């Protein structure tokens, strides 16, 4: 669980620096290894809390082009607003997963911590790249990585059509 103590916190800006093992965050993608670093500021004004942080973690991914493992540094920003309001907290209870980052989250009057576990987990899961290409292959052509794809032997084998598929060759779109 990732929580920030707020009990007895005075008005003003307070630095936040957390270092949590990726294994200790429930539901986090198994691609994440090592630690998750959360660094930023918690601003308190009366009953309002504003959290502005940067979340950094390392993901061990498999390259889509070369099938090699590589580590990718994932860095995202997290900004949340909280207000001490028991009525709002009761209304939002059980529906926190439906809240956007822009929504103000209610805290009970007796709240001792800000729980940001779900927000960090969701942010890191969404931070994983859809196309996973190792840095050394990002500018390389596919034929440079796999020369067999550009050889003449592969082109000549594609000219011969399997008899089972020959009938499809005559089908034309209108």
Q: What is the DSSP string of the chain?
A: --EEE-TTPPSEEEEEEEEEEGGGSTT--TTEEEEEEEEEEEEEETTEEEEEEEEEEEEEEE-TTT--EEEEEEEEEEEEEEEE-HHHHHHHTT-GGG--TTSEEEE-TT--EEE-HHHHHHHHHHHS-SS---GGGSSS-HHHH-GGGGSHHHHHHHHS--GGGGGGGG----
Q: Quick one: pLDDT at residue 154?
A: 43
Q: Is the pTM of this model over 0.85?
A: no
Give pLDDT, residue 140.
80
Q: Over the stretch 88-131, which tens digit does the pLDDT of each residue have?
A: 888 888 776 677 667 888 999 999 999 999 999 999 999 999 99
What pLDDT does residue 98 have? Answer: 72
pLDDT recorded at residue 145: 76
Q: How much is the pLDDT for 121? A: 94
pLDDT of residue 86: 86
Task: Give the tens place of pLDDT for each residue, 39-54.
Answer: 999 999 999 999 999 9
pLDDT in the model for residue 158: 54
Q: What is the pLDDT of residue 32?
A: 96
Question: What mean pLDDT, rounded, does the chain reach?
Answer: 87
* pLDDT exceeds cutoff 50 at 146: yes
Q: Does 151 score more than 80 pLDDT?
A: no
């Amino acid at each position: 669980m990732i929580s920030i103590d707020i009990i007895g916190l005075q008005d003003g800006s307070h630095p936040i620096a957390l270092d949590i093992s990726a294994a200790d965050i429930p539901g986090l993608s198994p691609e994440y290894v090592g630690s998750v670093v959360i660094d930023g500021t918690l601003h308190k004004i009366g009953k309002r809390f504003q959290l502005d942080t940067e979340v950094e973690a390392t993901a061990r991914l498999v390259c889509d082009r070369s099938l090699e493992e590589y580590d990718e540094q994932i860095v995202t920003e997290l900004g949340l607003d909280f207000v001490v309001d028991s009525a709002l907290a009761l209304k939002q209870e059980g529906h926190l997963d439906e809240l956007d980052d822009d929504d103000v989250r209610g805290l009970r009057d007796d709240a001792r911590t800000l729980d940001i576990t779900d927000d960090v987990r969701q942010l890191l899961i969404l931070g994983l790249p859809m196309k996973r290409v190792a840095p050394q292959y990002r500018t390389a052509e596919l034929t440079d990585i796999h020369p067999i794809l550009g050889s003449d032997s592969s082109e000549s084998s594609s000219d011969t059509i399997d008899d089972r598929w020959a009938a499809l060759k005559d089908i034309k779109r209108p």
